[in-house]
Amino acid sequence: MLTIYGVYRSRASRVYWMAGELGLEFESVRVIQARRLANPLAADAPINTLSPDFLAVNPMALIPSIQDGDLVMHESLAITLYLARKHGGPLAPQTVAEDGLMTMWTIWAATEVEPHTVKVVYVYDDEKQNSDEGKATIIVAVRSLKKTFATLEKHLATNEYVVGNRFTAADLNIAEVLRYAQTEQALFEAHPHISAWIKRCQSRPAYIAMQATRSQEPT
C-alpha cells in the first residue's frame, strides 16, 4: 500500500494529483508544515514537519514523502515521475528518449521556474499581496519568469503537451509549478499557449478531484 505524508495544501498536491490520475489506492498521513503552527514542538501540536515521528521518515523536515513497500521517497516531482514509471500507462515515458525529456522538463521546472513562482505564492500565503514589499517581490518574480515562459510558450505553440503530444507526468509537474504564479493573470494572458495548456491540464478529473479535497482543508 502506498502511504503519502503531507497535506493537500502543500507540494503534496502533486502526488495526490498523480495518485488520482493513476487510480491508486493510498493511505494519507496528515503532516502539516511546521511554519503554519505557532509552536510545532508543543506536546499537543498536530503531526508536523518537525515532529520526531515525521523526521524519522524525512530528516529534511519537508513534505511530501511517500512510503511504497520498502521504498521511502521524498521530493514531490521525483515522486510523481516514479509513480508514473512504476504504474505505466499514458502518463509514463514510453521510450528512453521520452524518459529523458520528462526528466529534463521536470528538472527545468524545479530549478528554473519554481524558485520564482514560489515567491509569488508565499506573498499570497503571507497576505502581503497589497503591501509595497509584496508587490515588489511579485514584480521581480514575474520579470525573472520571462525567459522560462517564453521558452514554454514557444514549445507549446507546436505541441499540445510537453512530451509525446499527450498529457504526461511532465505536464503535471510543470503545471503544478506554474500554478504558484497563476494569480498573475497578465503573465498568463501574455502567453496564450501556456494559458490554454494549463487549462487543459487543470480540466482533468484527477486535478479537479485533488482541488476539491484541497479546498476542504483548513487554510
Ligand X SMILES: N[C@@H](CCC(=O)N[C@@H](CS)C(=O)NCC(=O)O)C(=O)O
Where on the chain is the footprint of ligand X (CB under 6 A)?
Answer: 10-11, 33-35, 49, 62-64, 75-77
Looking at beta carbons only, is 49 or 168 nearer to ligand X? 49
Looking at beta carbons only, is 77 or 92 nearer to ligand X? 77
Instruction: Please list, in sequence order, all residues whose beta carbon lies within 8 angstroms of the beta carbon of residue 105, skipping any fewer than 6 positions away.
Output: 162, 163, 170, 173, 174
Looking at beta carbons only, is 77 or 201 nearer to ligand X? 77
Looking at beta carbons only, is 77 or 138 nearer to ligand X? 77
Q: Where are the beta strands (DSSP E) in 32-167?
A: 65-68, 71-74
Number of continuous H segments (helices) and E segments (strands) in the chain = 11, 4
| Distance of alpha carbon 22 from alpha carbon 90, whole angstroms | 10
Closest approach, Cβ 174 to ligand X, in A, equals 13
Q: State the DSSP H helix or E strand holding residue 28, giving kind and residue range, or none if neither.
A: strand 26-30
Closest approach, Cβ 46 to ligand X, in A, equals 12
Closest approach, Cβ 55 to ligand X, in A, equals 12
Closest approach, Cβ 192 to ligand X, in A, equals 28
Looking at beta carbons only, is 106 or 191 nearer to ligand X? 106
Say if strands 65-68 and 71-74 run parallel, antiparallel, or are unpaired.
antiparallel
| Distance of alpha carbon 30 from alpha carbon 42, whole angstroms | 17
Are residues 84 and 164 in contact, defined by beta-carbon separation less than 8 angstroms? no
Say if strands 26-30 and 2-6 run parallel, antiparallel, or are unpaired.
parallel
Q: If we measure between CA atoms, which residue out of 144, 150, 168, 160 comes closest to residue 199?
A: 160
3-state helix, strand, coil in the chain (%, to 5): 55, 10, 35
Looking at beta carbons only, is 141 or 156 nearer to ligand X? 141
Closest approach, Cβ 99 to ligand X, in A, equals 20
Closest approach, Cβ 108 to ligand X, in A, equals 14
